[in-house]
Structure 1
Amino acid sequence: MMLRETKVVALTVFHTFLLAICSANGNQTCRPSSCGDIQKISNPFRLKGDPSGCGDPDYELVCENNRTMVNLEHGKYYVADINYDNYTIRVVDPGVEKGNCFSAPLYSLTREIFRSDKRAYFLNPHEATNTTVLMNCEQPISDGNYIPITPCNRSNVTSSSSQAYVYALVGGGDSLLVNDIKYSCTISRTIITQFLKPGNLSMSDLQEILLQGLDISFLPFRCKSECHVKGPYCDLDWTKNT
């Protein structure tokens, strides 16, 4: 009888020990990651090098020079913030820096790259944004809507010595048309920014909004993770973030 009780106790202790190990391993495997200012990186995000099975590969971030970065269509962007409550990640072009001259974005960022059904990130249609173009012009332009730009590095925004003048033009949403571009100018970058009311803007206004970054939504992950339950009726509700 005593031997039987001893075996039961031993099995109970062993079982408890295994549960403790499994629990510890589970917590250790998918603990939140950190890189620079971005702390507690967790599902759906994963940091490159995290254990397989943690986070979604479509939302993999990388840590470079102690800065968290995300791969978008044309290159890597700094991650300035992740908001898990409203499913947004704020991205900043790595070419933009604070200063007395204009540090041009390295990449164009257009609405088209967010319009594919298979994209991991979307623009929230209820959030106001601008379409801004940087352009090189052969002649000076006397138009209050054209923002004169003094680039820190001219080679970043123009490849032609004949186009000596650099301007930015800010349009509300999708309202910027080809007809708005003066005939002597060619576009070097097209960028989506947080909302700026067009008109009477300065170079420093534009630089400041670029430094603040752009909020893009990872709400598609919510739908992706729930579609196996909702089936063909799965869709995004931007007003409720569901």
Structure 2
Amino acid sequence: MLGETFLLECLSSLILIQLLQTSSASHNPQCDPSACGRIPNISYPFRLREDPKHCGYSSYELVCDNNITSLDLNSHKYHVQAINYHNFTIRLVDAALKNDSCSFPQYSLFRYNFTNNFPYTISSYKQRKPRILAEVALPITFVSCPYPFNSSVFSETARCSHKVYASNDSNSSTRRYTYVKAGDLNVTDVRDMCSIDIIVMTSWPFKDANNLSLSEIRGSLLYGFELSWFTVNSSICKKEKSCYLDVDERGSIQYYSKS
């Protein structure tokens, strides 16, 4: 009796494993990785625009132009710096940034642009056991004021002439002084008559986010920011359910449905 029960349990386990493998294979078709410029491995769930339609998801479609991999977010182009399939992150840099010390992003992009959880978030599980959900990017805020001030929170960008707003009549009362802060901004940090110009993101690991130099800010912008695809809505889950990506002991990406 015990022997029959044991054999039945083994048979059930084998059938279950086979079903799981078949389901995974049907939703993760075998496609050769693509490559573009500095990104040598573009594979599931990503795809290049010219890849076969069954490879990857259209929501994770990338573009290869002049040997540069790029991604469109909120109608703006970002260059792909790296894709990490082990922690499910893609690192991006604003394509508008120029190779000079006073080039800054012109459009805001921050955590509130990714609150719908699809196809990207700025949060990912940093540890597997126990899993800890943490943000993979922090904000950088540019503020302009009609007067100069000293602050332990902000760094001044005044030596970049195009970031100091001045009128043609050189009236000092209309001049705008610009400052930048890495990390979350409190309401009390913004002085009277000052305004927030743009908020962008970076994943640069600052040792100390206070009193940063302009070159450090510039370096963090050139490093870029990470987005995660760890939490996704996938067609392999039931309708209106979430799927979670994980890596099995063989290093293969698997999906797990949230009940």
Specify the TM-score bucket, using the shorter chain as the normaliser.
0.7 to 0.9
1:133 is matched with: 141
**Residues 179-201 of structure 1 deviation map (CA, whole Å, 9 limit, x = unaligned):** 31112322221012224333121
1:135: Cα distance to partner? Answer: 1.9
2:234 is matched with: 224
**Match for 1:115: what amino acid?**
T
Instruction: Give the ranges of 4+ consecutive aligned residues of structure 1 lying more than 3 Å apart after TM superposition.
Output: 150-153, 157-161, 231-242
Q: TM-score, normalised by structure 1?
A: 0.73
1:42: Cα distance to partner? Answer: 1.2
Distance 1:185 1:232 in 2: 43
Distance 1:107 1:136 in 2: 15
Question: What is the RMSD of the two structures over their aligned residues, measured on CA atoms?
Answer: 2.9
Unaligned runs of 5+ in 2: 1-28, 124-132, 168-173
**Match for 1:69: what amino acid?**
S
**Match for 1:200: what amino acid?**
N
Distance 1:159 1:105 in 2: 16
Are the counterparts in 2 of residues 95 and 105 from structure 1 also a CA contact under 8 Å?
Answer: yes
**Residues 160-207 of structure 1 deviation map (CA, whole Å, 9 limit, x = unaligned):** 633432210223xxx412331112322221012224333121111111
Pair 237,219 (structure 1): closer, same or farther in 2 beyond 3 Å: closer
Correspondence 1:168 to 2:180? yes
Are the counterparts in 1 of residues 83 and 90 from structure 2 also a CA contact under 8 Å?
Answer: yes
1:110 is matched with: 110
Q: Which has the higher helix share?
A: 1
Distance 1:111 1:160 in 2: 31
**Residues 127-183 of structure 1 deviation map (CA, whole Å, 9 limit, x = unaligned):** 4543221122211111122211147572xx576633432210223xxx412331112
Correspondence 1:147 to 2:155? yes
Please give the secondary structure, in 1, of the residue aligned with 2:144: strand
* Percentage of identical aligned residues: 34
**Match for 2:106: what amino acid?**
L
Q: TM-score, normalised by structure 2?
A: 0.68
Distance 1:72 1:226 in 2: 25
Computing the radius of gyration over CA atoms, which structure comes out larger, 1 or 2?
1
1:186-201 aligned at under 5 Å gives the runs 186-194=195-203, 195-196=205-206, 197-201=208-212
Q: Which has the higher strand share?
A: 2
1:39: Cα distance to partner? Answer: 1.3
Correspondence 1:64 to 2:65? yes
Aligned length: 205
**Residues 56-78 of structure 1 deviation map (CA, whole Å, 9 limit, x = unaligned):** 00000011232101111241111
